[in-house]
A and B are shown apart, each in its own frame.
Chain A
Amino acid sequence: MALLIGSITIGLILALLALGIFISFRIFDFPDITAEGSFTFGAATGAALIVAGVNPLLASLIAFLAGMAAGAITGLIHTRFKINPLLAGILVMTALYSVNLHVMGKSNIPLLNETTVFTWVDNFSAWISGADTKTNLLGWQVAVKDLWLLLFCLITILSFCYLLWWFFKTNIGTAMRATGDNDQMIRALGVNTNSMIILGIALSNGFIALAGAMLAQYQGFADVQMGIGMMVWGLASVIIGEAIINDNSLGFVIAGAVVGSVLFRLLVAIALRWGLNPNDLKIITALFVFIALILPGIMKNKRKRNLKSTAHA
């Protein structure tokens, strides 16, 4: 049960990553691999600042801004110099690897003895219900502290979801969605689509970096490798969310990304529990996304063929 709660909590933290991928991939149709660098960048920035004694909340905010800066550079490279989105992302991702090492000063920063956002939640939990208390949840013994952590993450993620939903419903946010939907049309209506792309990719990477900073605080360390595979991970979450919540309206799609992220994390936890070699995790994630990407096309073809054969009969 502790494992289950832990997985859901991590799934909620990584939902921020899924939201970031949702912005770049679904709103802009921009396969932005900067994510892999900015995830670590967020974790590195957050961890380095926390170690330096900065307030963890402020450190997380700065991590968010750092991610935005990275994303803005990708957007700028793409729009200003007409470089293909994938390549623009690869350039920034590669550059960030060096940046991250400089920020961290070494390849791993432990945070176990530092005050993080989650230390505050722990303290709050101890203040409310005493340290190390357990409670009975559906027949399992669970640490109360873990439940508070889960609740904290849930509230945080839901607030970010609401903020994002609200933003995409404002005048500028709607223009941003239109940029991804039909850039010719929105240019003809007076919107600078290049600025929209830069701002959107910046926002996307801000969310991703925040996810990195939160995860580093939750697991107690930042590692220079922790971003690897994160883009596909986020994409898997978004795709699962879309499959489960079959509704195209903005609110549902955003909620879907969160549900998808939690579910995907749970699936992975269960698979690992059943003896999946952790080394195989990335290949299975990649295969999963591959299948999810081609499945709609195959289904469509099959339906068409069925229609044809019935028409012939």
Chain B
Amino acid sequence: MLKIENIEKTFNPGTANEVKALQGVNIEIEEGSFVCVLGTNGSGKSTALNAVAGTFLLDKGSIILDGEDISKWGEHKRAKYIGRVFQNPFSGTAPNMSIQENLMLALKRGKKRGIGWGLPSKLIKEFKEIVRPLNMGLEDRLENPIGKLSGGQRQALTLLMATALKPRLLLLDEHTAALDPKTASKVIDLTQKVISRDKLTTLMVTHSMQQAVNLGDRIIMMHQGKVAYDFKGDEKKRLKVNDLLTLFDELRRKDNVDTSVAALLEEYYV
């Protein structure tokens, strides 16, 4: 369904700020699977997600969605097939526009936008039914600007907007990281509900091992711009938070060895 083939990306190449964010990532995802991507800071997990979304173009490798190579496509073109929710609740909605206008923009994702009237009353009725299940009372406030809503409400709406037209692929980029624990769990509940209802193929980056253990059917752990571990099926089901912690420690220890060995060698040879 989604094939990420040997992708590489270096930011600010040749400068002091050079970051080798992706160093040959290979991931293949089947239709309908829900993949959690874990990793330390700077492991490249969000970068990998953004590479799929098309925020930047790759140095090397290709991304193939349903047999179509989308590596050279611009972000807006890929949006036809991809729904996204961002880490920052401010990123996914237009704050000065009303809830109904935001929803209406989402219902046209990847479609032609002509000079037809944007908000026919039929559509507004439809919106009420879309937001009612959130139990946030938004159905009576559709004309309010979204900027007045809380971060949790905005994330919930962004999720609804990303999935209003069924996307071939849903990308969630630590979409609960900026929320308080209670709100985060509500948004996660909603996420789970929407994904299982529409059987969405999902790639979710998270920093929470608990989330990764509880959700989805596959865990990919990234480290230093590469896939370090990949657990599927029963293996994933048996995985506990403690197992993941042990793996993280292992990766970290390897790093330390690497750096200390390098320092040792440097003393000898430089």
Chain A residues with Cβ below 8 Å from B53 are 188
Chain B residues with Cβ below 8 Å from A169 are 117-119
Do A175 and B105 have beta carbons less than 8 Å apart? yes
Which A residue sits closest to B104, measured CB to CB?
A: A174
Which of A172, A178, A189: most chain B CB closer than 10 A?
A189
B34 within 8 Å of A (CB atoms): no
Do A190 and B109 have beta carbons less than 8 Å apart? yes
Q: How many residues of B contact A (CB 8 A)?
A: 37
Out of A173, A175, A184, name the residue touching B86 (CB < 8 Å). A184
Which A residue sits closest to B75, measured CB to CB?
A: A187
Chain B residues with Cβ below 8 Å from A173 are 115, 118
Contact count band on A = 20 to 34
Nearest-Cβ distance from residue A164 to partner chain B, whole angstroms: 13
Known: A171-B108, A177-B97, A182-B95. A187 touches B76 (CB 8 A): yes
B161 within 8 Å of A (CB atoms): yes
Chain A residues with Cβ below 8 Å from B32 are none
Chain A residues with Cβ below 8 Å from B115 are 167, 170-173
Do B76 and A190 have beta carbons less than 8 Å apart? yes
Main SS of the interface on chain B? loop
Nearest-Cβ distance from residue B250 to partner chain A, whole angstroms: 36
CA distance A177 to B98 in the complex (A): 12
Within 8 A of B (CB), among A143-200: 167, 169-175, 177-178, 181-182, 184-193
26 contacts between A and B (CB under 8 A): A170-B117, A171-B116, A171-B117, A171-B118, A174-B97, A174-B104, A175-B108, A175-B113, A178-B94, A181-B94, A181-B95, A181-B97, A182-B90, A182-B91, A182-B93, A182-B94, A185-B94, A188-B53, A189-B108, A189-B109, A190-B77, A190-B110, A190-B111, A192-B74, A192-B77, A248-B96
Chain B residues proximal to chain A, CB less than 8 Å: 53, 74-77, 79-80, 82, 84, 86, 90-97, 101-102, 104-106, 108-111, 113-119, 145, 161-162
